[in-house]
Amino acid sequence: LSHTEPYRPQYHFSPAEHWMNDPAGLIYHNETYHLFFQYNPGGIEWGNMSWGHATSKDLTHWEERPVALLARGYPENVTEMFFTGSAVADVNNTSGFGVDGKIPLVAMYTSSYPVAQELPSGKQVQAGQQSQSIAYSLDEGETWTTYDAENPVIHNPPSPYGAEFQNFRDPFVSWHADTQKWVAVTVLSSLHKVAIWTSDNLKEWTLASEFGPYNGVGGVWECPNLFQLPIKGDPSIKKWVLVLGLNPGGPPGTVGSGTQYFIGDFDGTTFKADPASIYPDNKSANWMDWGPDFYAAASYNGLPEGGDVVQIGWMNNWQYGQRIPTSPWRSAMSVPRQLSLKKVNGKVTLLQQPQYSWRSVANHQTLKHSWKSVSKGSTSLDSPGKAFKIDLSFADHDSNKSLASTFAIGVRASSDFKQETLIGYNFTSKEVFVDRRNSGDVSSDKTFASLYHAPLSANADKRINLQVFVDWSSVEVLGGQGEVSLTAQIFPKGNSTEARLVSTDGVTQDVRLRINGMDSAWH
Ligand code: FRU
């Protein structure tokens, strides 16, 4: 059997072997979901950056394909690496890459040049330069032809930022229907700026505008992602969402990589953030995930217009990602998340829900139980195993009765509960938390053994709702309607199949729990 090594995710994508980081070029085409990703074909740490490739019919069962874009000169003498980017189906053949009516898939990515050189296009690049290039595929993403005649298609950072030629990357390209143009968002990562470009043919690009710096500017900006969503309950209003990776500089309590978002308007050239989306003095941010392991999130191109927006994130962190105790691979992707916008407590907020395809691996061994009141201390549960989904809800405190200060479910626990990962709610601070201090092997980094928290108020019927996806080496928590998300890797040692409820300092009322076992998506 494959995919049975310790810590191997059972229903999250991970490559069979070697290093993976950012998802890139997510595209749905001809009824197939493509996932390309940053990949080192020759090692378990970052290097030789190439585009790996996997395909799926349902976003849950994946088949790994041959490397799509292999670092040029690999393995002896790498002269160009293929950094993060995106892909589109050029339905109208604006690029002219299509042949005999065949729709070309076009990838736009960052060429990272380790050495100064003259390229086949005659263009000169400097050592460490990052430029934007394109490649196309006429065989469903299996093989790619780089556009050597002109690459890179965006050679240098826009003026006056020429000095930033080593910090200019991660083009996310999409079709802007209103203006009938291609739009690419890129980052000037050290300046905390997004540079927005437009094109008629994917080959010639014009600078349209810039955005930033705003909000989270602790580290560099990476991996911009731009998409449009209606507001739930007010679908006549459509907004644009700009998502950005920040490294280091995640939410309070995390160390390393984080993801923030802005809500605003985009007219095909300029992104203007809503005032409510901007914080004074860059002191805060709209965090997309409050845990340590959700980064470089990218959305799917090619989904039916006006339909779902589905995003996948890299479930790791640059702080320790290259030292996590997995072998012969490193890193997994998050569960695909369906995004929407809704007013929550008066503010338009990005909501995340698991994309429904997880149900195809949910089995029927369901634990379902309600308690009028869960007593103070520990309440044992039947062992749910190592991969499962939890729905947990309970009453918020509506009085000053001596109720619990925190309520949590402990998972992936040893039989003596000396090892466990706690997912719960702090009624005093009104925060969801993931506590991985005693989760098992925490040796990847001195900051790994930590407790992560996210603000969450009770819903309209005064309850706290949590959805949790547990896999062999991760937990993902979605709170409320999905207005908060917390993603964390865990590496439990030995047998770690136990679970329990823990109500601290008092009782927790009206508890409803449901657990679905999750099957392996690999068999
Ligand atoms: C983000 C990132 C990107 C870059 C890629 C290189 O994780 O640093 O900015 O394109 O990884 O692998």
Structure confidence by residue, pLDDT tens digits, 403-458: 999 999 999 999 999 999 999 999 999 999 999 999 999 999 999 999 999 999 99
Task: Give the up-direction half-sphere exposure of residue 74: CA atoms within 13 A in the CB hemisphere.
Answer: 18
What is the residue type of 360? S
> Which residues are 111's β-sheet partners?
82, 131
Mean pLDDT of 334-362: 96
The C-alpha atoms of residue 37 and residue 19 are separated, in whole angstroms, by 10
Mutate to test the pocket of ligand 1, among 222, 247, 312, 314 (most ligand atoms within 8 A of CB): 222
Strand partners, 168: 188
Contacts of 92 (CB under 8 A, 6+ apart): none
Residue 178 to residue 304: CA distance in whole angstroms: 16
Q: Which of 19, 22, 247 maximizes ligand 1 atoms within 8 Å of its Cβ, making it the mutation to test the pocket?
A: 22
Best mutation site among 39, 84, 164, 243 for ligand 1 pocket (most ligand atoms within 8 Å of CB): 84
Q: Does the pLDDT value for residue 217 go beyond 80?
A: yes
- C-alpha 425/C-alpha 454 separation (Å) is 9
Amino acid 400: pLDDT: 59
CA of 318 relative to ligand 1 center, distance in Å: 10
Residue 83 Cα to ligand 1 midpoint, Å, equals 6
C-alpha 223 – ligand 1 centre gap (Å)? 7
Judge contact between 52 and 70, C-beta under 8 A.
Answer: no
Give pLDDT, residue 399. Answer: 65
Cβ atoms of residues 485 and 352 within 8 Å: yes
Is the pLDDT assigned to residue 56 strictly greater than 90?
yes
Is pLDDT above 80 for 468? yes
Q: Is 22 considered catalytic here?
A: yes
Torsion sign (Cα): 331, 350, 107, 162: negative
Tell me what percent of the residues of the chain surpass a pLDDT of 70.
99
pLDDT of residue 305: 81
Written as one letter, the residue type at 450 is S
Tokens 């050290």 appear where? 190
In angstroms, the CA 429 to CA 445 distance is 27
Distances (CA, A) of 287 to 190, 261, 351, 363, 415: 20, 6, 11, 32, 35
- In this predicted model, what pLDDT tens digit does every residue of 112-161 receive, in sequence order? 999 999 999 999 999 999 999 999 999 999 999 999 999 999 999 999 99
Say if ligand 1 is within 6 A of residue 411 CB: no
Q: Does residue 222 have its Cβ closer than 6 Å to ligand 1?
A: yes
Residue 179: the pLDDT is 98
Gap from CA of 221 to ligand 1 centroid (Å): 10
Ligand 1 atom at shortest distance from the alpha carbon of 130: 10
Ligand 1 site, residue 83, Cβ cutoff 6 A: yes
| Residue 430 CA to ligand 1 centre (angstroms) | 34
pLDDT band at 1 (very low <50, low <70, confident <90, very high): low
Beta-sheet strand order (sheet of 145-146)? 81-89, 105-113, 129-137, 145-146
Contacts of 303 by beta carbon, 8 Å cutoff, 6+ apart? 28, 309, 310
Expressed in angstroms and rounded, the spacing between residue 36 Cα and the centre of ligand 1 is: 13
Distances (CA, A) of 283 to 135, 183, 392: 40, 30, 33
Bond into 325 cis (ω within 30): no
The response to whether residue 421 sits with its C-beta less than 6 Å from ligand 1 reads: no
Q: Which of 153, 207, 216, 152 is nearest to 189 (CA)?
A: 216
Q: Which residue CA neighbors atom 9 of ligand 1 most closely?
A: 222
Given the CA of residue 222, which atom of ligand 1 is nearest to it? 9
Chain CA centroid to CA 101, Å: 34
Q: Is the CB of 225 under 6 A from ligand 1?
A: no
Task: Tell me which of 69, 112, 167, 170 to substitute to probe ligand 1's pocket, judged by most ligand atoms within 8 Å of the beta carbon.
Answer: 170
| Closest atom, ligand 1, to C-alpha of 24 | 10
What is the structure's pLDDT at 306?
A: 78
| Mean pLDDT for the stretch of residues 382-391 | 97
pLDDT one-digit tens code per residue, 245-278? 999 999 999 999 999 999 999 999 999 999 999 9
Do residues 243 and 225 touch, judged by C-beta distance below 8 A? yes
AA identity, residue 481: Q
Among the atoms of ligand 1, which is closest to the Cα of residue 223?
Answer: 9
Find the 296 Cα to ligand 1 centroid distance in Å. 8
Looking at this protein, which amino acid is placed at residue 470? Answer: V
| Closest alpha carbon to 90 in 138, 44, 52 | 138
Nearest alpha-carbon partner for 351 in 339, 343, 362: 339
pLDDT of 401:
67
| Residue 402 clears pLDDT 90, i.e. is over it | no
**Bridge partners (DSSP) listed for residue 342:** 349
Q: State how far the Cα of 441 lies from the Cα of 497, in Å rounded to an integer.
A: 15
Residues 166-196: b if buried by 16+ CB within 10 A, e if exposed: bbbbbbbbbbbeeeebbbbbbbbbebbbbbb
Q: Does 181 sit in the ligand 1 pocket, CB within 6 Å? A: no
Distance in angstroms (rounded) separating the CA atoms of residues 265 and 285: 18
Q: Does residue 333 line the site of ligand 1, with CB under 6 A?
A: no
**8 Å CB contact between 502 and 424:** yes
